[in-house]
């Protein structure tokens, strides 16, 4: 099993279904395989950070209190299943008014690096969007594109110069590949 300094996880489309803007805990649910996959990766000493763009906040589609409730639930599920989650980093920027924190910008990753003493060159970024893969590659990480969520579309969007380290059906298949 590859042991990374940290595995960065996108949220929507990677850990859970992505029906659009998830504005309440009632609309949030992990994929059936998510917890099992993360537990397997954690068993070999890996730790995690969730890095998520949540423009629904700036668009007025998600209340901050609801987002906090969803993230509180996620943290409790990770803790209950002994999955080491360092933190959840959120960028509420609207795409038309984005700062460097919004993926593919490096801001949230650099914050995590400082907060937790990480070496980004020894990390893995797992996500379902071109922005996830672009961010990871720009920072010198291994990258894994999952074909859940927007993964199929992202695969077509990526330029010839941005090639994920791994392309997998879902997080569970990704675990099998990095476990070899």
Report pLDDT digits (tens) over 20-71.
899 999 999 999 999 999 999 999 889 999 999 999 999 999 999 999 999 9
Q: Which residues are catalytic?
A: 10, 12
- Report the chain (180 residues): mean pLDDT per 10 consecutive residues: 89 94 95 96 93 96 96 98 98 96 98 98 97 97 96 87 94 89
Where exactly are the structural domains of the chain?
A: 6-178
Cα–Cα distance, 48 to 17 (Å, whole number): 19
CATH 3.40.50.1000 is right for the domain spanning 6-178: yes
pTM: 0.96
Cα–Cα distance, 147 to 109 (Å, whole number): 22
- Following DSSP, what letter does each residue of 112-147 receive, concatenated? HHHHHT--GGGEEEEESSHHHHHHHHHTT-EEEEES
């Amino acid at each position: 099993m590859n042991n990374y300094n940290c595995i960065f996880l996108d949220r929507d489309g990677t850990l859970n279904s992505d029906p659009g803007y998830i504005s309440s805990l009632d609309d949030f649910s992990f994929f059936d395989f998510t917890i099992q996959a993360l537990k397997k990766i954690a068993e070999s000493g890996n730790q995690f950070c969730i890095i998520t763009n949540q423009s629904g906040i700036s668009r007025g589609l998600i209340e901050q209190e609801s987002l906090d409730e969803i993230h509180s639930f996620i943290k409790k599920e990770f803790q209950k299943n002994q999955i080491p989650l360092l933190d959840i980093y959120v960028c509420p920027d609207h795409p038309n008014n984005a700062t460097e924190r919004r993926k593919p910008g490096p801001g949230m990753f650099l914050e995590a690096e400082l907060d937790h003493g990480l070496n980004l060159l020894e990390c893995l970024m797992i996500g379902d969007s071109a922005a996830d893969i672009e961010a990871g590659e720009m920072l010198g990480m291994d990258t894994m594109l999952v074909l859940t969520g927007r993964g199929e579309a992202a695969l077509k969007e990526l330029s010839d110069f941005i090639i994920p380290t791994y392309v997998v059906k879902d997080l569970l298949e990704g675990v099998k590949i990095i476990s070899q």
